[in-house]
Amino acid sequence: MAAEVMLMNEIEATAAQMGIDMNIDFSSIQLPPGENCGIISDDDDVYHDDQLEFDSGFGNVIVVDNLPVVPREKFEKLEGVIRKIYSQIGVIKEDGLWMPVDPETKKTLGYCFIEYNTPQEAELAKEKTHGYKLDRAHIFAVNMFDDFDKYMKVPDEWAPPEIKPYTPGENLQKWLADEKARDQFVIRAGTDTEVLWNDARQSKTEPVYKRTFWTESFVQWSPMGTYLATVHRQGAAVWGGANTFNRLMRYGHPQVKLIDFSPGEKFLVTYSSHEPSNPRDANRVVINIFDVRTGKVMRDFKGSADEFAVGGAGGVAGNSWPVFRWGGGKEDKYFAKLGKNMISVYETETFSLIDKKSLKVENVVDFSWSPTDPIIALFVPELGGGNQPARVSLVQMPGKEELRQKNLFSISDCKMYWQSNGDYLAVKADRYTKTKKSTYTGFELFRIKERDIPIEVLELDNKNDKIIAFAWEPKGHRFAVIHGDNPRPDVSFYSMRSTHNLGRVAKLTTLKGKQANALFWSPGGRFIVLAGLKGFNGQLEFFNVDELETMATAEHFMATDVEWDPTGRYVATSVTSVHEMENGFNIWSFNGKLLYRILKDHFFQFLWRPRPPSFLTPEKEEEIARNLKKYSKKYEAEDQDVSMLLSEQDREKRRMLKEEWEKWVSEWRRAQEEEKLERQKLRDGEASDEEEEYEAKEVEVEEVLDVSEEVLSFEE
């Protein structure tokens, strides 16, 4: 150890003599152009054409124009005013404020340069002070230093843009026309990302595309399955194609952490959070909204993390995600953000606030959009010790008209659940008992599409039961609730249409003592998986809600995730790398038959590729359901062909095994024949190999092993 210290001291002394700084920031080291140390990075591939602004080295410098022109004696006072304004936004570097002076008049030139520690602080300073009114005659004009270089490259004379010949794009929906009507999914394991066909008939997968280091954190399908998004240090990219996955567009956003598509796939939201130079300040958040097809930034939002941390249930470093929630269905007309005492609703035609102002709602803590209509459901908690009750309101956009309001008393918490068609809204309300020492739960059920939006109150048979999970049947009128105490809670099913009254909620059945803590409805309704994840070690029950009967029970030990394919035919259960063992996934039929299992070390993600909505009308779907036998003949014939093919493959496999066995027997006989003379010699000339022709005899053989002499003395 002492020798190592002495050697290090010698190195440091030599470096000091040569003027070399040994305090190296390894994160600042850049490899020479074209050098990758043998590791291919998607960042280089995705962004090698772009000369992004932050690469120029002056991204942390701003230019402040329209300052007062002052003589030298007022120079110090003006500098102090500017420093006071701009040091409130971020840390100005030492000697980081420079005001040029006219050498002839000895007066300032009316502008200055300010250098911050980080580009994020510089961007915030530009955003906060551009247009700042110092006095009546001086209004600041603030620009990034890098912008000047960009504008200087603009040619003096206008030239018409080059018109490129039209080239038809690829059919990005070609995968939907698969002859076998299969679905795709993407998996991430280790450094590999793969897209695969689910070939359930053959009980196996079929590869589509595989790439190493395709993403640096995660991948995400767009809501209708057109694009696969990847995340990189310098931004995000989307991929797709007719037969493979080509890069279609990239979106520059340094240090992006999260992404979110709009429901209609028109826009992509990216999010990053940056640490401030002053530890006492909040993180700096940057959110960009891109046009997916063109890559253009339609709107950006920048500010402290505190500005984006109101409401929400998940995210990074305490921030909610998604920050912006989309409304208006697949048309992507509106998006909204929760703020303090307001909901800011934007429209995507101009990306500005509706009516140029936010929706003012005192003490609002949560909101959610209808999945199909421009209706916001918002929740305001109880205030003033109960003097002002909690309330749930439905507000129509863009007119901001309140459609319905329901006051709720003695509320401790509230969660809202929309049915996928926007027909119903369930509000789970946790209420205090009279003593305020405990709570119980009930549901307020809104019938959105009916006249005057009637509301029903539903309480469980045992209203003190804890609600573990709630889920609507997709496109249907039923819902399921897991309630009670672990380890064996109950599962109840309800319908918004009772047998005798279509306008009344009715309980269908209660399943007692189930090892379940999560509900997963089939996308087509009717079937549901009752899953016991985490502490329940992967218990699975496949249940038919139409017949109210269990189809199968199974177990995928340590399962962490359950996901139906978009058609409702198959279910995937997976064990991700949160567990060290049994990583991989299982594919099941809708009725609980295990079709195949694949193990993958360091397994991170399994995502089915979503399908776009069907173009069939409800009437056409009903007609197909009525005449299903007629349509199914074709597919039954195909299934029979597949079954015969599988049988033929099994027969071929058995034939090959038989041939292999016969070949081994033939080789054995040949070797026996070659060794016959040797065996005959060992049997003293006896020729036969048949054991029954010989008589076994026992022969005793005496053999002297050792001889020793010993002298014995005799005494008289």
The per-residue pLDDT for range 125-165, each reduced to its tens digit, is 898 899 999 988 999 999 999 888 788 888 888 888 888 88
**Identity of residue 38:** G
Whether cis (ω within 30° of 0) applies to the bond prior to 398 is yes
Pick from 119, 125, 145, 144: which is nearest to 277 by CA? 119
- Give pLDDT, residue 628: 82
Whether cis (ω within 30° of 0) applies to the bond prior to 487 is yes
Determine contact, residues 258/312, Cβ cutoff 8 Å.
no
State phi, psi for 77 to the nearest 5 degrees.
Answer: -65, -45
DSSP string, 372-433: SSSEEEEEE--BGGGTB-EEEEEEETTTTEEEEEEEE-SEEEEEEEE-TTSSEEEEEEEEE-
The CA–CA distances, whole Å, from 306 to 77, 192, 250, 317, 494 equal 34, 36, 29, 11, 41
Q: Which residues of 17-35 are buried (b: 16+ CB within 10 A; e: fewer)?
A: eeeeeeeeeeeeeeeeeee
What is the pTM (predicted TM-score) of this model? 0.74
Determine contact, residues 189/600, Cβ cutoff 8 Å.
yes
- Give pLDDT, residue 576: 93
Determine contact, residues 338/364, Cβ cutoff 8 Å.
yes
DSSP string, 36-77: -TT---HHHHHHTT---GGGSS-TTEEEEES-----GGGHHH
Alpha-carbon span 381 to 404, nearest angstrom: 17
Query: What do you get for the CA distance between the two ends of the chain, in Å?
Result: 83
- Give pLDDT, residue 364: 92
State phi, psi for 311 to the nearest 5 degrees.
Answer: 70, -170
Give the gyration radius of the chain's Cα atoms.
Answer: 37
Q: Which residues of 36-49 are buried (b: 16+ CB within 10 A; e: fewer)?
A: eeeeeebeeebbee
Determine contact, residues 566/611, Cβ cutoff 8 Å.
yes
User: Nearest 5 degrees, angle CA 561-CA 567-CA 572?
Assistant: 20
Ramachandran area for residue 241 (φ above 0: left; ψ -120 to 50: alpha; else beta): left
Alpha-carbon span 543 to 540, nearest angstrom: 10
- Helical ranges in 429-534 per DSSP H: none
Helix (H, G, I), strand (E, B) or coil at 297: strand
Chain centroid to CA 145: how far? 36
Determine contact, residues 430/439, Cβ cutoff 8 Å.
yes
Determine contact, residues 410/396, Cβ cutoff 8 Å.
no
Element (H, E) at 248: strand 246-252
Ramachandran area for residue 620 (φ above 0: left; ψ -120 to 50: alpha; else beta): alpha
The CA–CA distances, whole Å, from 688 to 349, 676, 683, 694 equal 99, 9, 9, 9
Residues of the chain under the 70 pLDDT cut: 1-57, 277, 310-319, 386, 499-502, 646, 687-696, 713-716
- Give pLDDT, residue 124: 85
Determine contact, residues 492/479, Cβ cutoff 8 Å.
no
- Give pLDDT, residue 314: 41
Tokens, residue 388: 């002002």
- Give pLDDT, residue 446: 96
Pick from 288, 339, 344, 273: which is nearest to 312 by CA? 339
Locus of tokens 């000047």 = 148
What CA dihedral angle connects 207, 209, 214 and 219, to 10 degrees? Answer: -70
